Amino acid sequence: MKSNDVTRWLCSILFCIVLVCVQFEGCVGSKTKKTDEAYVTLLYGDEFLLGVRVLGKSIRNTGSNKDMVVLVSDGVSDYAKSLLRADGWIVEMISLLANPNRVRPKRFWGVYTKLKIFNMTDYKKVVYLDADTIVVKNIDDLFKCGKFCANLKHSERLNSGVMVVEPSATLFNDMMSKIKTTASYTGGDQGFLNSYYSGFPNAHVFEPNLSPEMFSSRPIPEMERLSTLYNADVGLYMLANKWMVDENELRVIHYTLGPLKPWDWWTSWLLKPVDVWQDVREQLDESLPGTGGGQNSKDSFLVKFLFLLPFCALLFCCYHSFTKNQGYFSTLCRSSLCDQVRHLYYRIRSNGPLAYNSISTSTTNSVHQLLNGAQNKAPAYLGGISVCVCFVVAVVSLGLALLIVPRQVMPWTGLLLMYEWTFTIFFILFGGYIHLIYQWGKIVGSRVASSLSQPGSDYDSEKRHQRQISSCDVATWYYGLGMALLAIAAPSLPCLFGITALFLRLGLMVVGGIILASFMTYASEHLAIRSFLKGFDERENARNSGSCFLC
């Protein structure tokens, strides 16, 4: 019995060891080196995580089976590392190299860390790609390049966004010894490499189509220049609205737009090449729960909350308005559609939907006196102040909406959230301003009314009748819907006309913005004066119970 127990215990222990090994292999198997050549990128923080994921997917889409290595610093979260391993990246921890240049942009503090790719001696050759690049065709032929290869930009200086490096400890140590004495025109790694490889502009162009015999027989060049096909600059595309090379032969697209990156949802609406990046993003697998299509599991709840909150607020306002004005809505439902159309026709014919007052001309002289007082009491500067407030509120609404909407959501999601929250914030802020103007008008009206004789009963009945038939302010809806439609149409003009050039797109948006600004100027002035006169007209009386909550 004892021997059987020992055997069972040994079998259980062996089974547990095998199970742990299998789990360990599944978790960190992607760390194992498989080839002597690798694609490499850098990740300093989680902000560029989506870019690295899309880059890896684009490499695998071209059929390459080379290792993919990402060098990560301490600023990268454990979740990001796990996600990259699940995507097939080999994650290697590194320490940042401090930038020795005192005069430099703040974002260049750790860019010298890129030089550590020259010390990746576990590989015979590595192809470095920035996290804001994407591979559109197989580039395994770059591993045939010389000891150092890069693309020469229009400024006759190499760009360090795409490089081919033959790692060497001797070379890396030499760089480290000269890092403090070698000038950098950018204050970063790119300027240092241009100074270190001072003869690079005179290097020969890499020819990937040479026969294998010629590659094996020739001496390995110290430096070779890469064609623009391997580092197509979106910044140059933006200027000419076309690539400087054959688009069908492109290999690598580099999104060199400064702070604007392809994972920012709004760039997809400005630049056509971002569509290529977004197409690859949509193909991302769900390596971890909630990460399919480049989604962020942490932002999914936030996005749903941002979508639903304005709708819930709108439903609440509608419910509140309905319960408060239930009698009016009952009367409205009992009346026929023809009656409503006839009433609207006579109202427009008599006063127009944009008239400042709704008092009939058949009222008494005291009513005329009161109205004249209202017109005189409306401050002359009210319209100008209202226009300024309207534009300030519009700018504040746009700014707050940009801060609220997550940057890395899908383009359509970001656009819808942007519109939704811009309209919501504008409605709250400018609506509050209009309500203050209305209250101001009531205060002024009360003071004027106290100095006049009380109107007769005919006036009161006429006034109550006018309030009932004008319970829903048509002008408020007219201006509100007009501004909303123009705000949607202004940025949509380039898409409607099929224009892809950035500057033409911006030009059309400016034209649409001017039209919107003109309408907002007219609308804000009229709404403010209408609200003031409406409050002036009602004086100390309570607002009509049949008023719309938007009026």
From CA 149, how far away is CA 410, in angstroms rounded? 35
pLDDT (0 to 100) of residue 180:
86
Q: Please report the pLDDT score of residue 115 as a whole number.
A: 93
Q: What is the CA radius of gyration of the chain?
A: 34
Contact (CB, 8 A) for 206 and 128 = no
Q: Identify the pLDDT of residue 13.
A: 60
Query: Residue 53 pLDDT > 70, yes or no?
Result: yes
Q: Which of 188-197, 492-501, 535-544 has the lowest mean pLDDT?
A: 535-544
User: Is the pLDDT confidence value at 207 over 80?
Assistant: yes
Helix (H) or strand (E) holding 58: helix 49-61
Among the listed ranges 158-162, 208-212, 321-325, which one has the minimum average pLDDT value? 321-325
| Bridge pairing between strands 67-72 and 37-43 | parallel
- Tell me which residue of 32, 26, 24, 38 sits closest to 67, measured CA to CA: 38
User: pLDDT category, 191, cuts 50, 70, 90?
Assistant: confident
pLDDT band at 364 (very low <50, low <70, confident <90, very high): very low
pLDDT over 70 at 25, yes or no: no
Helix (H) or strand (E) holding 32: none
pLDDT of residue 333: 56
Tens-digit pLDDT profile for residues 393-444: 999 999 999 999 999 999 999 999 999 999 999 999 998 999 899 888 888 8
- Highest mean pLDDT (candidates 14-23, 105-114, 274-283, 443-452): 274-283
Choose between 251 and 259: higher pLDDT. Answer: 251
Q: What's the order of all strands across the beta sheet hosting 67-72? A: 90-93, 67-72, 37-43, 125-129, 158-165, 148-152, 223-226, 204-205
Q: Using an 8 Å Cβ cutoff, are 146 and 220 in contact?
A: yes
Q: What is the pLDDT of residue 256?
A: 86
**Residue whose C-alpha is closest to residue 179's, from 165, 164, 196, 163:** 196
Q: How far is CA 431 from the centre of its chain?
A: 27
Query: Is residue 78's pLDDT more than 70?
Result: yes
Residue 483 · residue 523 · CB < 8 Å: yes
- For the segment 303-329, what is each residue's pLDDT rounded down to a tens digit? 889 999 888 887 887 776 667 656 555
| Cβ–Cβ under 8 Å, residues 115 and 175 | yes
- Beta carbons within 10 angstroms of residue 168's beta carbon: 15
Instruction: With cut-offs at 50, 70 and 90, classify the pLDDT of residue 349.
Output: low
Find the mean pLDDT for residues 193-216.
85
Q: What is the pLDDT of residue 397?
A: 95
Helices and strands (H and E) in the chain: how many:
17, 11
- How far apart are the C-alpha atoms of 370 and 161, rounded to whole Å? 74
Residue 131 has pLDDT above 50, yes or no: yes
CB within 8 Å of 77: residues ≥ 6 apart: 46
Q: pLDDT band at residue 250, thresholds of 50, 70 and 90?
A: very high
Q: Give the best-scoring range by mean pLDDT among 22-26, 356-360, 489-493.
A: 489-493
Helix (H) or strand (E) holding 114: none
Q: Counting every residue, how long is the chain?
A: 551
* Residues above pLDDT 90, as percent of the chain: 35
479-484: average pLDDT: 84
Domain spanning 30-226+272-295: which CATH class is it, in words?
A: alpha beta
Average pLDDT over every residue of 458-467: 44
Q: Which of 543, 418, 412, 415 is nearest to 473 (CA)?
A: 543
Lowest mean pLDDT among 126-135, 160-169, 174-183, 333-342: 333-342
Distance CA 8, CA 537 (A): 95
- pLDDT tens figures, 367-396: 344 445 445 566 888 889 999 999 999 999
The 3-state DSSP class for residue 277 equals helix
CA distance 406 to 60: 28
- Indicate if the pLDDT at residue 96 is higher than 70: yes
Give the SS3 label for residue 363: coil
d(CA 48, CA 40): 14
- The domain segmentation of the chain, as residue ranges, is 30-226+272-295, 299-538
Q: CA-CA distances (angstroms) from residue 233 to 129, 218, 250, 276?
A: 13, 31, 11, 14
